[in-house]
Structure 1
Amino acid sequence: MLVTFKFNGRAVLGFINIDKQHAVSKKMTFYSFVLCQIFSQVNSRELEKINVLKGIHRKPRFSLAMIFIFGLQVSFNEVAHILVVDERLNLAEWCVCLLIGAVSCPVDSAAKCAWNLVKNRHFGSHNRTTSAVS
């Protein structure tokens, strides 16, 4: 998805001024990738369970770390445009990046469902035959 956004970002970003489309497309690709990594960290809390948010309130350091990483990315965007004289992302562009990053959650859930289905179908039948023999 990010590769498509990288090479066809101008078509997706029709609502942005043509002069700054290329720079914004590059920044949105980068920040979408960073947000995918943040959501991936949340998804990797529970490797086999689909509900990765269950019990997240019991680990406040993890939540603070995720908020801190996101805050650093936003502040880096705000400072970088001053230092490098680059385009900065507006709220709509940040929301698009957030939505692209959040796509990793349903993809991860679908992968976990498929793995659980395969595991139960393949390994579950093996366990039933060995327990019947015993």
Structure 2
Amino acid sequence: MNAPLSAMQLSWVNMIMDTLGALALATEPPNDDMMKRPPTDRGESIITKSMWRNIADQSVYQLVVLGVLMFKGKHLLKLIGSDVDVVLNTFIFNTFVFCQLFNEINSREMEKFNIFHEFSSSWIFSTILLSTILFQIIIIEFLGAFASTVPLSPQLWLLSILIGSASLIIVFMLKCIPVGSAKLSSHSRNGYHPIPNGSEEDV
């Protein structure tokens, strides 16, 4: 069995996951909740339990989806023709990219259920997201010889987006399960206790 992703496709996915993804999340505008967080202890882990939960569920979901597509994709998608292998590989590549894009949206808020909170104010994040989608369309539809892809039908494009967006539902459901020893109270969101302001009474 041939590798589902070519070297150029892997380079593009790595750019989405590393460079563009990091730039999008790092340029999120500050909010009041961030300003209320106290300094982190020196020995505290950089990766929180919420982050580990997100890493684990996204890894399992993507491995299952991509594994099923690799071994059963031709039958499930009812692909026929002489170019069935390249169509399937292109679909797997497209689905993998959209999984990464929706994972970027999930990563905006690790604890809160509303991952679209202040999304409209994150214009850099939105611009990077839309630019990535535009380049993905160009790669699939117009750069076949260079990227080892073929144009996909509207049905396969829609299915790729639906599979990627399903991670939003999975993350939403898993957030109902507390990752700490106890559920966080309304005054300790994201695992941090807000710094009291002058109007609060000292205990």
Q: The TM-score by the shorter chain falls in which range? A: 0.7 to 0.9
2:106 matched to which residue of 1?
43
Measured in 2, the distance between the counterparts of 1:43 and 1:66 equals 13
Q: Tell me which of 52, 66, 73 is aligned to 1:2.
A: 66
Measured in 2, the distance between the counterparts of 1:65 and 1:51 equals 20
One-letter amino acid of the structure 1 residue matched with residue 155 of structure 2:
A
1:132 matched to which residue of 2?
none
2:166 matched to which residue of 1?
103
Q: Tell me which of 162, 170, 182 is aligned to 1:123.
A: 182
CA RMSD of aligned residues (A): 2.0
* Structure 2 residue 26 is matched with structure 1 residue 26: no
2:121 matched to which residue of 1?
58
Provide the TM-score with structure 1 as the length reference.
Answer: 0.80
One-letter amino acid of the structure 2 residue matched with residue 104 of structure 1:
S
Name the CA shift for 1:84/1:40 in 2 (closer, same or farther; >3 Å): closer
Deviation larger for 33-42 or 20-29: 20-29
Name the CA shift for 1:62/1:41 in 2 (closer, same or farther; >3 Å): same
Identity of aligned residues (%): 26
Runs of 4+ in 1 over 6 A off after TM superposition: none
Tell me by how many angstroms 1:13 deviates.
Answer: 1.4
| CA deviation profile, 1:3-24 (whole Å, cap 9, x unmatched) | 101111101111x433222211
- Conserved 8 A contact 1:77-1:89: yes
Provide the TM-score with structure 2 as the length reference.
Answer: 0.54
Deviation larger for 19-28 or 3-12: 19-28
Measured in 2, the distance between the counterparts of 1:57 and 1:83 equals 35
Measured in 2, the distance between the counterparts of 1:90 and 1:20 equals 14
Measured in 2, the distance between the counterparts of 1:62 and 1:28 equals 25
One-letter amino acid of the structure 1 residue matched with residue 182 of structure 2:
F
2:193 matched to which residue of 1?
none
Measured in 1, the distance between the counterparts of 2:72 and 2:183 equals 45
Instruction: Identify, as 1 or 2, the structure richer in helix.
Output: 1
